[in-house]
A and B are shown apart, each in its own frame.
Chain A
Amino acid sequence: MLALIDCNNFYVSCERIFNPRLEGKPVIILSSNDGCAISRSAEAKALGLRMGEPWFKVKHQARFRDVIALSSNFELYGEISARVMRVLARHSPRQEVYSIDECFLDLSRIEPEQLLDYARDLRAQVLQWVGVPVAVGLAPTKTLAKLAAERAKKEGVPARMLADVVADEAGQMSVADVWGVGPASARKLQAQGVQTVAQLARMPLAAAQKLGGTTLSRTVAEVQGRACITFNVDKRDPKQVMSSRSFGRPVTELGTLHAAVREFADKCIVRMTKREVAAKVVMVYLVARLPDGSRSSLSKGHQFTRHVSDPDLLYAVCLKLTTSLYRKQLSYVKAGVLLLDLQTTTVSQGSLFDDASTNVRAQLEAAAEMAGVQGTELDAESLEASQRLLAIAGVQPGSTFVEDWKPRAENRTPAFTTSWADLPLVKTG
C-alpha cells in the first residue's frame, strides 16, 4: 500500500502556525500583486469564496467582510514544506515529493491492518511537530491514493483507505476529479456515458486507450488497483531548484540585475528540464548593501495558475519580480532565482496560446498572471482582447517590457523561519 499525504489549505495552515488568532477564521492568501485567492481556509470556502477569485472584484461584498486576506509569503511556505517532507521522509525508504504540499510514501512495510492507525499517527506527528494539518490517503496505487486523500478531506477524517473503488462511496465521484483525467478527457468520457469513478473502473483498457491514449488507459488501470505509475525518487533536493551568485562588484543598474536574474533563471530552467519537472512558484531574491554597511535581503514570489516550464514565461515573470523589488538608491551584492512546488512534466498542461509567437505569448501570459487574470479567462479571449491585456501591462506588442510596473500594497507576514530579523516574538509576561 502507498500513501498520499496532502496538507490541508497549505498556505493558510502555514500562516496559522505563527498567528493563532487566524484559527477558526475565514482566511485567504493572495497571489503576488494581491490578485487572486490561491489558498482558502475552510471558513473562507464556506462563505462561498472560490479559488482563483480576483480579490479586488469581490472584497467589498458584505458576505466577505470578515475575511482576512494575506499576501503570499513563499519564503515561509517553502521552508515549512521542507519540514513536512523531512518528517514524512523518516517513515519510508521511498518518498516522492509531488508538490509543495503533497507527497507519496511507500508504506508497504506496514501491516495492512495497522495502516489506518499508522496514518492517523503520522498525521498527529506532522501536526504536533510542524503545526500543519494533513490528510492521508491509503491505496494500492497513486491515483487511488490521491482520491482517498480527497475523500479524507471531504469526510473530515485524518486518514482514508481506498482499495476497491466500485464498492466504495468514492466510486460516485465524478471522473473529472480523477488525477490524470484532464478536462478534455473528462468531456469525452462523459459523452460516452462514463460519468463516475466506478464506471471508469469498469471501462476496458482498450477503450480507454482509444479514447484518451496511454495516459487514460494507465489511469484506468490505476483506478482498478493496478499500479502503473512508478515512484519518481530524486536523490537530490526534490523540492526546489535554485541558482544564485554574489556579484563581483555591487550592482546599481536595473538592466544589469535583469541580465543576472535571466542567467540564474536559465540555470534553473536547465536543471528543471533535466529533471523533467515544471514549477508552480518562482521567487526572485536580492541582497542589498545598505548605506550603513548592513545587508538586507528582499524576495518576491509569484505562483502560476498551473505548473509551467516555458522558459520565456519564466524569464518574463522573473524580470517583473526583479523590477518590482528594485530600488534606485540601493546597491545589490547578490541575487538569485528559486523555483518551488515542482511537479513532473508528464502531468503538466501545455501553454494557453499555441498560435501567437513565443515571446508575445509569454509576455501576454505574464501580464495576465501578474494582473490577476485567471487562466480560464485567457482561454476565452480573442486576439483583440489579448491586445487590450498587453495595453494594460503597458507593453507594445513586440517590444520589451515597460519597467515601471508598480506593485500593490502588500499584507505579507514576516519571514518567520528564514530571517533572523523576522523571528516570532514571545512575551515573557
Chain B
Amino acid sequence: MTHPSVPLTPVVGPAASAGFGNHAEPFEDGSLNLHAHVVENPEATFFMRAKGDSMRDAGIFDGDLLVVDRSVKPRAGQVVVAVVNDEFYVKTLRREGSGYRLASANPDYPDIRPGEADSVRIWGVVRASVRQFPA
C-alpha cells in the first residue's frame, strides 16, 4: 500500500528486534512451526473469526480462524477483510468496471457493491484460514 520514494530497506531482520522471540524460524529441534509457516509478517498479522456462511464456497465457514495480513497489497481475486460502513466483512475482492466489488461465495448471499454514500476500505488480506474439528 505504500510507494516509498526511498526504499524502506530493513537494516535488521525481525529476529534481531527485541520482543517475542524468533518466530520466523522452525522450532529449535527442527520441528515444523505452523505459526511461522502461516504468519509471514507477525507485526502486521492479526487473527479474526469468521461469522456466517456467505463465503462457504470459498472454503471459509462459520467459526473459522482467519489469518489477516495488513501489509499485503490487495489484488482482485484475493479474500480480504474490508470495513464497510464501520463493519468488518470478509469477502473476495473482484473487479467491476473501473472499480471493485466485494463478492460473496454463496449464491444465497448478494455481493457488496458500495455506493457513493458508503464508506469502504480494505483492512487486510486473508492469507490463510484455520478450521478446527471437534476432538
Interface residue count on the A side (C-beta < 8 Å)? 45
Partner of B14, one of A86, A97, A235: A86
CB distance B49 to A128 under 8 Å? no
Q: Decide if B35 is an interface residue (CB 8 Å cutoff).
A: no
Chain A 100-137 per-residue mask, 1 if CB under 8 angstroms from chain B, else 0: 00000000011000100110011011001111000000
Q: A428-B89, A429-B55 are in contact. Are A129 and B44 (CB under 8 A)?
A: yes
Contacts of B13 in A (CB 8 A): 90
In the complex, B47 has a CB within 8 A of chain A: yes
- Verify A130–B48 contact, CB threshold 8 A: no
Does B48 lie within 8 Å of A89, measured CB to CB? Answer: no
Known contacts A86-B42, A425-B49, A428-B50; decide if A125 and B19 are in contact (CB<8 Å). no
- Residues on A with beta carbons closer than 8 Å to the beta carbon of B62: 428
Indicate if the CB atoms of B8 and A130 lie closer than 8 Å: no
**In the docked arrangement, what's the CA distance between A45 and B48, Å?**
32
| Chain B contact residues: helix, strand, loop or mixed | loop
In chain B, residues 1-52, which have Cβ atoms closer than 8 Å to a Cβ of chain A? 1-2, 4-6, 8, 10-14, 16-20, 41-44, 46-52
Least CB separation from A240: chain B residue: B19
Chain A 414-429 near chain B by CB (<8 Å), digits 1 or 0: 0011001001111111
In angstroms, Cα B29 to Cα A29, docked, is 44
Contacting pair B43 A83 (CB below 8 A): yes
Interchain nearest-CB distance for A346 vs B (Å) = 21
Min CB gap A230→B, angstroms? 18
Closest to B108 in A: A429
Determine the residue in chain B with the shortest Cβ distance to A124: B2
Q: In the complex the two chains form, what is the Cα distance from A158 to B41 in whole Å?
A: 24
Answer whether A91 and B10 are a contact pair too, CB < 8 Å, given A129-B71, A239-B18, A239-B19: yes
Expressed in whole angstroms, the Cα–Cα distance for A87 and B48 within the complex equals 21
| 0/1 string, A10-53, CB within 8 A of B gives 1 | 00000000001101000000000000000000000000000000
Q: 1/0 per position for A393-429, CB-CB distance to B under 8 A? A: 0000000000000000000000011001001111111
Q: Is B43 a contact partner of A428 (Cβ separation < 8 A)?
A: no
Taking A90-B13, A125-B8, A129-B70 as given, write out 12 further A-B residue pairs in contact, using a Cβ cutoff of 8 Å, ordered by the A residue number. Answer: A23-B86, A86-B43, A89-B19, A91-B10, A92-B12, A117-B6, A124-B4, A129-B44, A237-B19, A427-B52, A428-B50, A429-B109
The chain B residues found within 8 Å of chain A, CB to CB, are 1-2, 4-6, 8, 10-14, 16-20, 41-44, 46-56, 60, 62, 65-66, 70-71, 81, 83, 86-91, 104, 106, 109-110
* 28 A/B residue pairs, CB under 8 Å, sorted by A: A83-B43, A85-B18, A85-B19, A86-B14, A89-B12, A90-B17, A91-B10, A97-B18, A121-B2, A121-B5, A121-B8, A122-B8, A128-B70, A416-B46, A417-B46, A420-B47, A424-B46, A424-B49, A425-B50, A425-B51, A426-B51, A427-B51, A427-B88, A428-B51, A428-B52, A428-B109, A429-B55, A429-B110
